[in-house]
Amino acid sequence: MRTTRYVFAAALLALAPFTRAMAADSDDCSQGFASRFAAAYREDARPADPDAAAPARRAMPSPLPSPPFPSAEWQLGGVAYPIGVPNLNTRYPLEKALACNRFGKWMTDNRIEIYGWLNASVNASTSSRSNYPLSYATRPNRVEFNQALLRIERLPDTVQTDHIDWGFHLDNLYGYDYHYTTMKGVFSNQLLNHPRAGQALNGKTYGYDPMLFYGEIYLPHVAEGMVVRVGRYLSLPDIEAQFSPNNYLVTHSVLYTVDPYTQMGVMTTTRLNAQWTLQVGINGGNDTAVWNHSSRPTLQACVRWVSKDNNDMLYPCVNSFNTSDYNYNNVQMYVTTWGHRFTDNVHILTEAYYMYGRNIPGFGPGGEPGVVASSPLPGKAGEYGIVNYLNIALNPLNMISIRNEWYNDQKGQRTGYATRYTTHTVGLTHWVSPDLEIRPEVRVEKSYDMPAYDRGRKDYQASLIVDAIWHY
């Protein structure tokens, strides 16, 4: 019996450092990085303090609960948050774990954040060769590593109005999704110079893309505040986004799959008052670096209106306008998004656009097989569509999103097939914790004028997809 007690005591002594580490907080600098990192996840899993003071705000109240929705704000590109909205991010586990070393303290003192996520998915599909134009899970019936993203940023403080502030943003993306995000002239050789015979998309299977890199200046005395952004940034409109955590569903609509993703240039966002925001900018063209030979000076202009009761949002944009012929993704694009909140837990988002390119090779009289040969303007190819999201918060940890879409690729210039499409998707987002979300969804779709699925072999497709996003 005495021997048993000695063994038990020895075991407790051996486990003592581990037990102390497990009980430690993320700000306990006597612990190592790994212990503080694990503690940060335990702290995130605790219930939020209902009595915690809300940060100062110079804008309408957030219209939506997040989580479970991916954002608490009505849509607005060109800024991290609408002007007057504070940084709503909590400190992420990586930031907490780094806070005890010199680098982490320097970042905290200078309001610089570092965080990211890992995203993988698995899909089952009625297609066997390709799921395209479904994205990003283009390869059927497999597990896919979609995104590993590391973000370093400083957000300007747009709540205060007494001094100029600044910010910057750098996103590093690795994974399969680089096929869709790549900008010509920015590490694009790995995609554009590696043809893959018989594949839905060219390029190396997995690649790296420095997706966003820009600097910002906040000018509080211009109207009710202006943010000037210079660099590579996301295309302003769209309900959907390139980054997995910013989406209501795993997959993307056809409408989103084939439109512009990023631009490089200068964008100004000006708050006129609490309801109206104006955006004007110039860039080098869609998904084209300003130093690339395909670059063309391109205008962007948007205006966002939010109703006084915060129940409606309207966001019309001229996303791309120039007078040049088609080159690398040079399309003219006009788009509008409308959002309506029925209750705090139920809202819809509807987006419609018209795009076209001028003098596209092979798309005038005598064009390529499978493409309509006649057009009111020879060489012009247009496409238009509409998508609607119905989003329902079941509780703070679960939401359902229902997406219905109609799209017409008139000459097949965007999807490769001159046909109309419908897609219907239902998905659930479940927050296991503030740092882990799981999203299953089911999707059915059809092409009406020619087979467009499984590399032109089928006119329909059904798929079941689930992904997981781990935030760090």
Domain locations in the chain?
93-471
* Cα distance between residue 48 and residue 45, in whole Å: 9
**Which distant-in-sequence residues (6+ apart) come within 8 Å of 295 by Cβ?**
185, 284, 285, 288, 289
**Spatial separation of the C-alpha atoms in residues 87 and 89, rounded to whole Å:** 6
Residue 307 DSSP symbol? -
Place 360 in a pLDDT band, splitting at 50, 70 and 90. Answer: confident
To the nearest whole number, what is the mean pLDDT of the chain? Answer: 90
**Element (H or E) spanning 249, and its range?**
none
Q: What is the value of pTM for the model shown?
A: 0.89
8 A C-beta contact, residue 89 and residue 471: no
3-state secondary structure of 117: strand
Q: How far apart are CA 232 and CA 289, in angstroms?
A: 8
CA distance 116 to 421: 34
Decide if domain 93-471 falls under CATH 3.40.30.10: no
How confident is residue 19, by pLDDT bands cut at 50, 70 and 90? Answer: very low
pLDDT score at 63 = 97
| 306 SS3 class | strand
User: Per mean pLDDT, which range of 25-34, 308-317, 408-417, 421-430 is the poorest?
Assistant: 25-34
Q: With a cut of 90, say whether residue 148 has pLDDT above it.
A: yes
Confidence band (pLDDT; 50, 70, 90) for 200?
A: low
Neighbours of 216 (CB within 10 A): 25
**Amino acid 196: pLDDT:** 58
Q: End-to-end distance of the chain based on CA atoms, in angstroms?
A: 47
What's the chain's Rg over C-alpha atoms?
Answer: 24
Q: How confident is the model at residue 203 (pLDDT cuts 50, 70, 90)?
A: confident
pLDDT at 16 over 60: no
Res. 452: pLDDT tops 80: yes
DSSP codes of every residue in 165-212: EEEEEEEEEEETTHHHH-BBTBSTHHHHT---TT-SS-S-SSEEEEEE
| Alpha-carbon gap, residue 97 to 57, rounded angstroms | 28
Position with higher pLDDT, 402 vs 379: 402
Do residues 226 and 219 lie in contact, with contact meaning Cβ atoms separated by under 8 Å? yes
d(CA 448, CA 401): 25
Which is more confidently placed, 168 or 103? 168
| Of 202, 181, 183, 205, the residue nearest 193 (C-alpha) | 202
Q: Residue 404: helix, strand or coil by DSSP?
A: strand
pLDDT over 60 at 2, yes or no: no
Average pLDDT over residues 343-356: 98
- How far apart, in whole angstroms, are the C-alpha atoms of residue 353 and residue 286? 16
At 176, list the tokens: 């399969």
